[in-house]
Amino acid sequence: MSAVTPEGSPPVPVPPFLIERFFAAHEFSTQHLLGVSDCETRSVRELLALEPDAGERLAGLRLGYTESGGSPELREAVAAPLPGVGPDDVLVHNAAVEVLLTVALAVLERGDHAVVHHPSYQAQWTAAEIAGARVSRWRARPELDWAPDLDELPALLDRPRTRLLVVTTPHNPTGFHFDEPALRRVLALAEERGIVTLVDEAYRGTEYDPSDRLPSAATLSETAAALGLVSKGLGLPGLRVGWLVTRSRALREAVARAKDYTSICASAPSELLAALAVRHAETLLGETRARLRRHLGLLSETLGRHPDRFRWVPPRAGPVTFPTLRRDEPDELARRLREEADVLVVPGTVFDDASREVRIGFGRTGFPEGLAALDRWLDARA
């Protein structure tokens, strides 16, 4: 792994993380949170009820350092449903954003090139920039139902010193979801060029129909890596637990070296609770999917009543969607909704400067009340 700033080079500036600064300013002071990307959270009591001895195990847990690769219990739980993947292929991190940074530091050197599925969570491209790489955006467009154009990808990957491709499915913020042939083609295009593909699978399991769930990228390619976490579909962002899965030993070891400079290891109580949730993921995700289907129906009705304001591509999976504004400016609409209706939506400009969209999240139980407040505000200004 190369240093972020080689000897004699100026330091790489760390740009503002726009969406995180946005939430820091508004998330805890706005009543109706319609812009969040997670699903309804769960209590420690709910998790401990999943297994009869879980409370005793948590109470007796020693609070020492944990294994840098993650607890064997958690790694086994993550690997169990993935064919051909073992616990040693799993590297536990403190949330997804750490995975994005450690992979970038492990794979990229100054002057390298990365390709990122876009619009996207900002850390996916700024992590590469912090590592000293140039970044090209593989753009998804609303006129293609938020699908990126597969025919555009080879030219992007063929640019000099391309080392990393970052793809998200199900996709944040648009709700797009690849089908399996398309994902296999993406992985093959990168693999035949010796490029590492990181597939952000943060929303895996939130497909409205479980039959739409894709195989994990880590099972489809020996050189690809998959990012997973407990924050979204399982509703456990407070645990701050994520993981990288890859069958590439070289990549895993390089990422582990980078992680020694970030968190070193995870929280012991968080790992225990995360392992508990992952073992019972299908039960928890079933509850999440039922809620998403209900809320998506409500959202469809509301947006359908305001066709003059929104052009909407319904999401294929996940708890977020990205309607295009026909006449409002994203930042101005978001500001007015906060100030006049106590409703928080995320302006698309935190994902892409040129965005004409807002992100709406519908995974929490309070969504119907927030949606009603949005609907009243829109009606009053029809």
Q: What tokens were used for 302?
A: 């509301």
Are 288 and 39 in contact by the 8 Å Cβ rule? The answer is: yes
Q: Please give the pLDDT value at position 382.
A: 79
Average pLDDT (268-284) is: 98
**Stronger pLDDT, 369 or 3, i.e. the higher one:** 369
Q: Which of 218, 224, 233 is nearest to 283 (CA)?
A: 233
Are 321 and 359 in contact by the 8 Å Cβ rule? The answer is: yes
- Residues 277 and 351: their CA atoms lie apart, in Å, by 30
- Residues 359 and 347: their CA atoms lie apart, in Å, by 6
Q: Please give the pLDDT value at position 9.
A: 61
The pLDDT of residue 6 is above 90? no
Could you give the angle at the alpha carbon of 203 between the alpha carbons of 356 and 246, nearest 5°? 120
pLDDT category at 13 given cuts 50, 70, 90 is confident
The pLDDT of residue 4 is above 50? no
When the pLDDT of each residue in the chain is averaged and rounded to a whole number, the result is 96
Q: Output the CA–CA distances (angstroms, integers) from residue 350 to 60, 123, 215, 340, in the order listed.
A: 43, 11, 30, 21
In the three-class reduction of DSSP (H, G, I as helix; E, B as strand; rest coil), residue 60 is classed as coil
- Express each pLDDT in 149-181 by its tens digit: 999 999 999 999 999 999 999 999 999 999 999
Count the helix, strand and coil residues of the chain and give each as a percent rounded to the nearest 5. Answer: 40, 15, 45
In the three-class reduction of DSSP (H, G, I as helix; E, B as strand; rest coil), residue 117 is classed as strand
CA 359 to chain centre: 14
Question: In what helix (H) or strand (E) does residue 360 lie, and over which residues does it extend?
Answer: strand 358-361
Q: Please give the pLDDT value at position 10.
A: 62
Q: What is the DSSP track for 1-32?
A: ---SS-TTPPPPP----HHHHHHHHHTTT-SE
Say whether the peptide bond before residue 119 is cis (omega within 30 degrees of 0): yes
Angle at which helices 367-380 and 330-341 pack, to 10 degrees?
Answer: 100
Question: Across the strands, what pairs with 347?
Answer: 358
Beta strands in 119-171 (DSSP E): 134-139, 162-168
**The residue to which tokens 């709700």 are assigned:** 175
Regarding pTM above 0.85, the answer is yes
- Express each pLDDT in 35-83 by its tens digit: 999 999 999 999 999 999 999 999 999 999 999 999 999 999 999 999 9
Domains of the chain: residue spans and CATH: 18-43+282-380 (3.90.1150.10), 62-279 (3.40.640.10)
